[in-house]
Structure 1
Amino acid sequence: MAKSSTSVKNIFLRFSSIRKSKKKTFEINDTKIPLMPCTVSQITDYIQTDKLKEAYLNLLSMRLELQKELKAPPTNQVNKEADVNNLFVTLRNKMSVIVRNSSALPSCNKELLVYVAHIILEEEKRQGEPGAVPGWREAWRDAVRDGVRDALKKVHLDRREQNASWLAVHLGLLGKAVVEDLERVKTELLSSYPADFNVFETYVSCHHEAVGEHLKRLLVEVTELKDYHALLDFIIHRYPSDPRDKQRILIVEEDLLNNIKTSYSHCQMDDFKSALENIIITEKEVWTMKKSPDRTDDGFLTSKTYMSICQLIASYADNLEEIDENLRKSVVHFCLEELNSFHTRFEEEFLQHTRSLLTSDLLDCCLWVEYHISYINCFNSLKENMPFYRENFSAQVEQLEKDVDGLIQRLSQTLIKHFETDIKPYMDGMMTKKWLKTNGDFKEVTCRIENYRGLCKSMRAPSAQVFVNDVHYYVAREYVSQLMKKKYSCKKTKSEDAAVKLREQWNELKKLFEDMGSSLNWLYPLGDYLSDIIGMENERKIKDLLIPLVSNYPDISKKQLSAVLYFRDNGFSLEKHNVINQFTVLKRDAGNTNHDRSFFTDILS
């Protein structure tokens, strides 16, 4: 394709410097024109047998007779004038056939073209004379155009059902035919005409017109994106406009080019919508068949969804990069905007088709979690590819990133809610008499955290960090909130046992979340502070433990501290009263100092 395109362009450039041939003619003067013209029948025979010189000289003789008779009294002038006109029209038609065939046939009688050119020039000189017929040069150009049309109609064209590349193949042959036609104009036809016929320019113009008409007919048959692209590639790469010399360059009319671009754009829109719909259909099959998600080489769960989308948009952009920049931008703009509605539809379908996995066995529940993680990773990867388009589509990219962030957040929150629902029954068993004697509920909690620890290793940053922190925060908050519910109060030495158990379990949770990569380090000291308060044998010394607690967790309330003291021992004592008073002083001295994080505020008490 590229080679043919170069040939077309080069032939234009070579022909721009062609030296015009010397004028060839046959002499016409009064001594050469017969005194008595042949009969109408004989002149007609001359025309039909390509004897242009004889026919034309006799026609000139008939015209001279007619002109003499017009000066004399009227006789049969009307009939003779009709005969002259009809014969000249017949001659002109015959010359058109010769010119037309010279374009369409591999070889022709070049001497006839010499006669054709001279007759046209002679008749142009005689315009306005009695018996003169107009339109000779126009008829010649029409014949050139018709001959070019005939030649292009012979270019082979497969039916679409025969060959998927029917149009690309045809356009390649069409380009080759144009090159060969113009080469033949140079080598065989140019020398037969005088310079003022502008033969090469006329043939270029007629090829342009014929190709444009041909492309319009082809456009009606085009329905696929690849074929619209083939048309644009053919037009833009084979017929580049050159404002410096428009006469020597084939230029497809702007309306046709815009029509093809519009059709391409509409087809691309439909193609992209269809591709997005196919992605959802493909993913539905994954959910229905309960197929495990793919994994990357480094172990992250993933889906090919984002790759399909990114590759599709990139392919659209690449295909148009050397075709038309404005069309390229229009296509990418549409794709980026269409992704917003796709995400909404994808989320709806995903939630609808995977909900049943949660009501099945443990393996299905794990698969449900894996699906969520794979799509969190998938859409993070999609978002990472968007900055490439930010320069030209900042508004669309900004909106898309916002929508993707929202989708990722909702997927993550769905996982968090599932985790919360899963461990809440076991959390509710904490800080009770049973809890003090057994570890069953706590083991169930840590078992589920362990499961999520493995799954979190399959989640990519930055979502993995956010997710781990959310899980850590929820577990810490739920664990501590059990102290606030006053479900149990220790007696005598039981408070020391409870303090030891709380510290051990808190440290176990700490190790789990450290291993998971939680960045909420500020939560870790809290377990020690609470254990110290609960296990402190001397109530007077509890006041000293309040300073670091209030300093690091200033949102703890009087009611919440009272609940911790109740868990330690629900009996009233003066020292407990003094502890509360000391806490009140510390909170007052701290005032309304802003703190960059909260914890106890989120605990319902």
Structure 2
Amino acid sequence: MRSMTKTYRKTLSVSESRYSDTDFLSLSQLTWFNTFSFTFGNHLAVVSPTTEDGFRLTKWRKSLRALKQFEELFDSTPEHNKDSTVMDKENTNNFDFIYNIMPSHVSVMEINSLIESADLNKAYLNILSMQKKVQCERDKLGEEPSSVKLAHKEKDLNLLYKNLIDKLSSIVRQSCTQPSGNKELLLQVAGIIEDNEKRKWDVEGLEGLRAVWSTAIQQGVKDRLGKIYLNSNEQTVSCVGANLELLGKNIVELLETVKTETLNLYPQSFLVFETYATSCHEFVGEHLKMLLGKATELKDYNDMMDFVINRYHSEMILCSPSLQPEMEERTFLLSDDLLGQIKQAYCDCLHETIHASLENVINTEQKEVWEKKVTPKNTKDDIFYNSEVYTDISEMIKKYSVNCANFDSNVEKMAVCKCMEALKHFPKRFKEEFSKQSCSLLGSDLLDCCLWAKYHIAYINSFSSFREHIDSYRKKCPEQVKDLVLEVDKLIDHLKQALLEQFSVEIKPYLSHLMTKDWLYSDADFNELVNRIDIYSGYSKSMRHPSAQSFASDMHYHVVKVYISELLKSKYSCKGKKNEDAAANIKEQWTVLNKLFSEMGSSLDWLHSLGYDISKIVEQEHEKDIKNVLTPLVENYPDIR
């Protein structure tokens, strides 16, 4: 008996050495065959017809019954020849299964050990066997409640199935980061999933294997691409751009690997490439949301828009030639909501950026121009005073407009509107700071007074040009441009009014002596008036049209109004020849004034005759004669009463 046992163990050992792990089914059948061979051999030995053994004929009959039982069991298992493998198919209920179910299984601990060691085929076969056994026991009970023992078996079966799912998920997930390291395991995974779907066996409370497989790919892609992250402590201007560039490269590399190495490991029904591409696309959306929450600089949002609109669907990533033709029939679009959030975040940041830039413009002008009393530069033709303020702001708007036009017209429109909105408050802010800084120039120093005037002229020119520039954006955002133009016009009017008020202050002493004895016999005051007009006439020539003409007209009107007002005051009584002298003086001075303002470009020609009409009145000696010449004056200038 001992010798026969040794013979059996030796035979089993030899049989095991001839089969690989994947031939578990053949190895199991061989084990059963050896077992029954040992039994049959034992019975064969005891029914030897030799009488010295002392055995009866009944032993021989028992041996025959044992042999018959062995033949029946052996016939119930699939036949395996030298060409059979663990993937031999089982035909049951018109379904072709990948695996045959074994008649028995190893212990729960052993199955779990097989799962942990990634011996997937053996583990799955034993789980199927255990499931079939549990199902048979449950069927026998019918409607009767399950026994405690059966309940424990069902619990063990569910736990094993869950552990197998976790293992499959882990293998698929790791394949994203180590694609060439587990090809054999992926083949087993594919076979198990296909077999499981054909058997339609799912455990309550657990996902199906195909869903687990898809989720594992999604998580694996996230592991692979998730290594690219934004360091919250290094939110530099270039960080987001570099991050997204690296993300694009990694997506292409991953999908190239899937196409060349992973795709052939699965049946076509798995839609492997599409599953991986979809997971990459979903990760991109999540990653952009994460970046959107961390981005702080305008360059960050700009890089995000460039990635989404220009690069993601280009040959740099999804349309890469290396991913064709698998990618041709697939369309991956980021949600309009996400793209809208990125665009809005860009525009909001643009508004803040422009506001800060405009503050820098004012600060620079204060430190580099006003405090240092730098004389404004002339244009290239050396005619007009100019300021860098217009150039800086106009180039800034143009830069953002052109940049956004590279994305799409909608972004460009949004950006331009934000620029106009941010600029709306700049004219008022500039006026406040300039008025505060420039008032110190209006003192006894003539040079400072001239510099003060030149600053005003330079800014009138700059903001007039700026007004023309922003008007070119009216079609894109009419309301915003309209509001901004109103503010710019207010600033220009304020600057011209400040010049006019200063001019008025300077000429006031020379007009207050009209119709006095000194005025009648001396031209000194009038000559000073003419001198001031000449100075401001020079200023107007340094202004751009139409500001120059409107300023000249304003000066003209102001001088005429003050001049006539002083003449009509009862300061000095002229009689006899003095009337004629006063009238002649008025005519002469009026002619000079008309010529000065005509040369300046004043459009108020209707004022030219006013002085002559007044001189005719002054020339009259009798009241009745005054009435005869008063009518034309009242008719032409009804506001004079």
TM-score normalised per structure 2: 0.74
**Within-5 A mapping of 1:170-209:** 170-209=243-282
Aligned AA (1:151): R
Higher relative contact order (CA 8 A, sep 6+): 1
Aligned AA (1:601): D
SS of corresponding position for 1:289: coil
Alignment-derived partner of residue 85 in structure 1: 158
| Distance across 2 between alignment mates of 1:425 and 1:374 | 28
- Superposed CA RMSD in Å reads 3.4
Q: Does 1:381 align with 2:465?
A: yes
SS of corresponding position for 1:104: coil
Match of 2:237 among 164, 167, 170: 164
Q: Does 1:580 align with 2:626?
A: yes
| Distance across 2 between alignment mates of 1:95 and 1:65 | 24
Match of 1:222 among 289, 292, 295: 295
Alignment-derived partner of residue 111 in structure 2: 43
Alpha-carbon distance, 1:247 to partner? 8.3
1:459-518 Cα distance to aligned partner (Å, 9 max, x none): 111010111122223334434444333444556665665566545544443443343333
CA separation of 1:401/1:263 partners in 2, compared to 1, >3 Å: closer, same or farther? closer
| Distance across 1 between alignment mates of 2:607 and 2:343 | 61
**Within-5 A mapping of 1:294-443:** 294-298=377-381, 299-323=383-407, 325-443=409-527
| Distance across 1 between alignment mates of 2:581 and 2:140 | 145
Aligned AA (1:269): H
Aligned AA (1:484): L
Q: Does 1:292 align with 2:353?
A: no
Alpha-carbon distance, 1:162 to partner? 7.9
SS of corresponding position for 1:260: helix
| Distance across 2 between alignment mates of 1:25 and 1:258 | 54
Alignment-derived partner of residue 258 in structure 1: 340
- Unaligned segments of structure 2, at least 5 residues: 1-84, 92-98, 142-146, 319-326
CA separation of 1:311/1:129 partners in 2, compared to 1, >3 Å: closer, same or farther? closer
| Distance across 1 between alignment mates of 2:484 and 2:237 | 36
Aligned AA (2:208): G
Match of 2:219 among 126, 131, 146: 146
Match of 2:309 among 220, 229, 236: 236
CA separation of 1:356/1:68 partners in 2, compared to 1, >3 Å: closer, same or farther? same
Q: Percent identity?
A: 44
SS of corresponding position for 1:37: coil
SS of corresponding position for 2:243: helix
1:139-170 Cα distance to aligned partner (Å, 9 max, x none): 10111011101111233756664853011011
CA separation of 1:154/1:398 partners in 2, compared to 1, >3 Å: closer, same or farther? closer
SS of corresponding position for 2:442: helix
Match of 1:136 among 209, 223, 247: 209
Residue 156 of structure 1 contacts residue 173 of structure 1 at CA under 8 Å; is this kept in 2?
no
| Distance across 2 between alignment mates of 1:203 and 1:365 | 74
Alignment-derived partner of residue 184 in structure 2: 111
Alignment-derived partner of residue 68 in structure 2: none
Aligned AA (2:375): S
1:101-125 Cα distance to aligned partner (Å, 9 max, x none): 2112252333322221121121122
Residue 230 of structure 2 contacts residue 291 of structure 2 at CA under 8 Å; is this kept in 1?
no
* More off after superposition, 80-89 vs 128-137: 128-137
Alignment-derived partner of residue 461 in structure 1: 545
Alignment-derived partner of residue 90 in structure 2: 29
* More off after superposition, 47-56 vs 480-489: 480-489
| Distance across 2 between alignment mates of 1:60 and 1:436 | 128
CA separation of 1:130/1:481 partners in 2, compared to 1, >3 Å: closer, same or farther? closer
* More off after superposition, 367-376 vs 460-469: 367-376
SS of corresponding position for 1:248: coil
Aligned AA (2:252): V
- Unaligned segments of structure 1, at least 5 residues: 1-23, 534-560, 567-571
SS of corresponding position for 2:237: coil
TM-score normalised per structure 1: 0.78
Residue 416 of structure 2 contacts residue 476 of structure 2 at CA under 8 Å; is this kept in 1?
no
| Distance across 2 between alignment mates of 1:131 and 1:343 | 70
Alignment-derived partner of residue 128 in structure 2: 60
Aligned AA (2:398): A
Number of residue pairs the alignment of both structures matches: 532
Residue 295 of structure 2 contacts residue 301 of structure 2 at CA under 8 Å; is this kept in 1?
yes
Alignment-derived partner of residue 619 in structure 2: 565
* Rg larger in structure: 2
CA separation of 1:389/1:104 partners in 2, compared to 1, >3 Å: closer, same or farther? same
Aligned AA (1:275): S
Residue 156 of structure 1 contacts residue 170 of structure 1 at CA under 8 Å; is this kept in 2?
yes
| Distance across 1 between alignment mates of 2:526 and 2:627 | 34
1:517-543 Cα distance to aligned partner (Å, 9 max, x none): 334444445566666x5xxxxxxxxxx
Alpha-carbon distance, 1:419 to partner? 0.6
* More off after superposition, 184-193 vs 397-406: 397-406
Residue 159 of structure 1 contacts residue 166 of structure 1 at CA under 8 Å; is this kept in 2?
no
Aligned AA (1:346): F
